[in-house]
Structure 1
Amino acid sequence: MRIDIITLFPEMCEAVLSESIIGRARRAGALDICCHQLRDFALDKHRRVDDSTYGGGMGMLMMAEPIALCYESICEQTDTKPHFIYLSPKGKTLTQKKLKELSSYDNICLLCGHYEGVDQRVLDRYVDEEISIGDYVLTGGELPALVLTDSLARLQPGVLSDDECFELESHYDGLLEYPQYTKPQTWRGEEIPEVLFSGHHENIRKWRREQSIVETAKKRPDMIAAADLNSEERQLAEKIITEQSDNNPR
């Protein structure tokens, strides 16, 4: 997968994406991530990419032409039209389901907004979708772009050591992850669940599945309705949700 990021702060993005798992994956060739300085496509010697808004109002707006020129340059480099995403608080909220959908693309381009946003005309002409990482506003689109890039990159082959690293994690299958433990077996008088050192793999699998349902029902009951549960599992989840509601009346 190739991910292109259009930004006013490519150094900020590179600093994050050159470290840890993502940095190693890039160096190994499992990922191709390119950060583009939008000011390189400015129309004047001052490298301005923003101007005042028509109709008045506070703040400046990012101009359409530099963004269009940068995106068109990326299209020429890749010989394709990358799926173009604008990171915006007006977009649909990023979820694991959306990430699995995006992971099927070979080329993705991310636009980091700034100031009061972006000229609507370039969004209408080029952008395929707008995505938000939450119902709040940041000073720029770089942090959302980094969140999306990191969470998307780890789904690509060769980035993590094994697909199981993400397939058993929270949200991947609509449930939160089960509790996990490491050595020592006894810590400050607390023992880990006996089933985990029983050596019985099927019992461990069943325990983990049950605990995922329990964790989700307790911490994110809103996820239960859409989770793929059999009748027995759904009864367990609904029982926990009901008990929590009874213990925490409003």
Structure 2
Amino acid sequence: MKINILTLFPEMFDIFNHSILGRAQKNETLTIEAINIRDYTTSKHKKVDDYPYGGGAGMVMSAQPVVDCIKDIKKKNKGKVIFLGPRGRTFNQEIAKELSKEEELIFICGHYEGIDERAYEYFDMEISLGDFVLTGGEMACIPIIDSIGRLIPGVLGREESFQDESFYSGLLEYPQYTRPEYFEGKRVPEVLLSGHHDNIRKWRRKKSLIITQQRRPDLFKKIQLTKEDVKLLKEK
């Protein structure tokens, strides 16, 4: 996948040169490039914002540098243009899976008090990280790209690495344990030491169901329980 990030602060995305996504870029499974919107302004003082018509606090990003940047990047990236703003769909795992199937994507990071409305006609999609305020779209862009990138085939070691994770199947993840077998008097559940794969699968499924039911009843209501799920929940 090829991802371009249009931003006023490209240095913030050096984080993608490290860890799993950094390795994916070295393997050429994923390409992430940040583009400075400021390079496209026609202002001799490199301004990318101005006072809002009608008055109000703060500054608004101008349409010109954003639109010209999009037009230029579109010459080498034909992907969807995604603006990170408060009016968009709230990001979740389903959107991550949906976008991970794309070959190319372009993200626009807003800043200041908003962006000139006339730039919106160049956006294909708007995404919000949640109902809270951030200092800029960059802070939302990082977790969104990380979430999408790790779903791309070849980025993680095995597909199972993310299929059992929280939210992928609609459930929160089951408890995990590692060595030593005993820690501060607490032992790893015996079923995980049994080597009986089906019993381990059932235990994990049951724990996921219980944890989701207790901590995220909103998610649990959306789960279509199987006959086995009902039976597992009835067991003591």
Consecutive unaligned residues of structure 2, counting only runs of 5 or more, are none
Residues of 2 paired with 1:221 and 1:236: CA distance? 17
**Structure 1 residue aligned with 2:87, among 80, 87, 90?**
90
**Structure 1 residue aligned with 2:191, among 187, 192, 195?**
195
Partner of 1:55: 54
Indicate yes or no: 2:134 matched with 1:138. Answer: yes
Q: After TM superposition, what 4+ stretches of structure 1 lie above 2 angstroms from structure 2?
A: 231-239
**Structure 1 residue aligned with 2:221, among 218, 225, 232?**
225
Superposed counterparts of 1:207-226, under 5 Å: 207-226=203-222
Residues of 2 paired with 1:34 and 1:72: CA distance? 16
| Residue 133 of structure 1: how far off its partner (Å) | 1.1
Indicate yes or no: 2:49 matched with 1:71. Answer: no
3-state SS in 1 of match to 2:205:
helix
| Residue 234 of structure 1: how far off its partner (Å) | 5.1
3-state SS in 2 of match to 1:77:
coil
Partner of 1:180: 176
| Residue 199 of structure 1: how far off its partner (Å) | 0.6
Does the Cα contact within 8 Å between 2:101 and 2:152 map onto a contact in 1? no
Evaluate the alpha carbon distance shift between residue 111 and residue 182 of structure 1 in structure 2; reply closer, same or farther with a 3 A threshold. same
Does the Cα contact within 8 Å between 1:217 and 1:238 map onto a contact in 2? no
RMSD across aligned C-alpha pairs, in angstroms? 1.8
| Residue 231 of structure 1: how far off its partner (Å) | 4.7
Partner of 2:20: 21
Residues of 1 paired with 2:233 and 2:34: CA distance? 44
Report the count of equivalent residues. Answer: 236
Consecutive unaligned residues of structure 1, counting only runs of 5 or more, are 240-250
Partner of 2:99: 102
Aligned amino acid, residue 127 of structure 1: F
Deviations 1:142-181 (A, max 9, x none): 0100111111000011111111111110000000000010
TM-score by length of 2: 0.95
| Residue 19 of structure 1: how far off its partner (Å) | 1.0
| Residue 86 of structure 1: how far off its partner (Å) | 0.9
3-state SS in 2 of match to 1:66:
helix
Partner of 1:127: 123
